[in-house]
Chain A
Amino acid sequence: AQKVTQAQTEISVVEKEDVTLDCVYETRDTTYYLFWYKQPPSGELVFLIRRNSFDEQNEISGRYSWNFQKSTSSFNFTITASQVVDSAVYFCALNAGGTSYGKLTFGQGTILTVHP
């Protein structure tokens, strides 16, 4: 079975602070995909990043960066110099189990509030 754990239920920071959202996953599969999605107050999930299990390179996109470590089964997400617009719920998700389609197992989500 697959499982995703986001231990941080809520995080509150002041604008311009850096913040890291933790994600730990469990799967017995050797091939899997990890995702991060952002859910703003409007409700729809916005895709942020996808990473496959064979690619452990860290990735940076603007103020966002992701650290994938297979040794600790973690796929953490860092926002540098946070802004009020970053306030949202962030979900880490896993596709594993040998499915050939996009069935995702989600973590509980982390509510990020950035105060001005």
Chain B
Amino acid sequence: GAGVSQSPSNKVTEKGKDVELRCDPISGHTALYWYRQRLGQGLEFLIYFQGNSAPDKSGLPSDRFSAERTGESVSTLTIQRTQQEDSAVYLCASSLVAGADTEAFFGQGTRLTVV
């Protein structure tokens, strides 16, 4: 597709269950980022991928959160044993290169609700 695609767009899960969120970046984009947006707040950085490697995982809130990227393309963010505080919109972004001044293109996000 032309833009960053995320699926599912909405996910409701029970507390304690595991969830997987998917991000398809723009084809050819080497850098990929995950952010979390809690209700009424700005975006919090979670993790950055360059190719299939994650040089910066500093934003992952706990060891329940993990992410991987394969084929220098699709990325999956996994949250294990979900908690209510995990409820948020999870946004993925990609950029052609990983420059500090590079424009990032964002997906529409996955709205996760933990009940």
Residues of A within 8 A of B (CB): 4, 6, 33, 37, 42-47, 50, 52, 91, 93, 95, 99-109
Contact = CB atoms under 8 A, between A and B. Distances in A.
Contacts, number: 78
B109 interface: yes
Contacts of B99: 100-102
Given A33-B100, A44-B107, A109-B41, 17 more contacts: A6-B42, A42-B108, A43-B89, A43-B91, A44-B106, A46-B106, A91-B42, A91-B43, A95-B100, A99-B56, A101-B48, A101-B55, A102-B31, A102-B99, A103-B33, A103-B48, A103-B56
Contacts of A103: 33, 45, 48, 56
B75 to A, nearest CB: 15
**Which 3 residue pairs spanning A and B have beta carbons closest together?**
A106-B42, A101-B98, A45-B106
A102 B95 contact: yes
Contacts of B33: 102-104
B108 A102 contact: no
A98 to B, nearest CB: 9
B108 A43 contact: yes
Interface residues of B, number: 31
Contact of B104 (A100, A104, A108): A104
A37 B104 CA distance: 10
A9 B4 CA distance: 28
A46 B41 CA distance: 17
Given A33-B101, A52-B101, A101 B56 contact: yes
